[in-house]
Amino acid sequence: MNLPLNRRLFMVGAAAIAVSGPAFANTTHIVEMLNRHPDNKKLRNVFSPSVLKVQPGDTITFMPTDKGHNSVSIDGMMPKGASGWKGKNSKEVSVTLDLPGIYGYKCQPHYGLGMVGVIIVEGEGMGGNLDAAKDVKQRGKAKAAFVDHWDQIKAQGLLTPPAEQ
């Protein structure tokens, strides 16, 4: 059955598509800033989750669940062309990441105690800045925390494109 395509039918269809929005909406991810890990009380000053894989255009909101923490991007641990961020102490901060790659971040007051995290934004070349991120000099317990994060990323295959998993 062939229906004639007239202007009114076209406009109704276009309006329906516009109102329904994009087929794939971006997601907001919550990362809690905590004094103690929710599952392991021996782990102090942590982001939960501390390793996160997201889609380009997703937003990550760092929640000060416990006071005294912030989220700050680490120079040299972002894809080329990406913008960094610096949240205020005990304040929520949201960042939207568009470029595929590895993003390292820290809690500035607790960085030396190992309060660091990694975000992987999926897409072509998402592991392209891994070596550069690993080469950034870390201090204190942050050094060991990043080694744990790199091991977790490798063990879980987080840098493997979804079609190959």
pLDDT tens digit sequence for 81-118:
999 999 999 999 999 999 999 999 999 999 999 999 99
Query: Is residue 52 a contact partner of residue 118, using CB atoms and an 8 Å limit?
Result: yes
pLDDT tens digit sequence for 18-28:
444 445 578 99
Q: Which residues pair with 145 in a beta bridge?
A: none
pLDDT tens digit sequence for 36-45:
998 998 999 9
Alpha-carbon distances of 14 from 9, 34, 143, rounded to whole Å: 9, 46, 53
The whole-number pLDDT of residue 164 equals 53
pLDDT tens digit sequence for 137-160:
999 999 999 999 999 999 999 998
pTM of the model: 0.83
| Polymer length of the chain | 165
Domains of the chain, with CATH numbers?
Answer: 26-156 (2.60.40.420)
Picking from 117, 116, 125, the residue whose alpha carbon sits closest to that of residue 159 is: 125
Label residues 57-83 b or e (16+ Cβ within 10 Å = b). ebebebbbeeeebbbbbbeebbbeebe
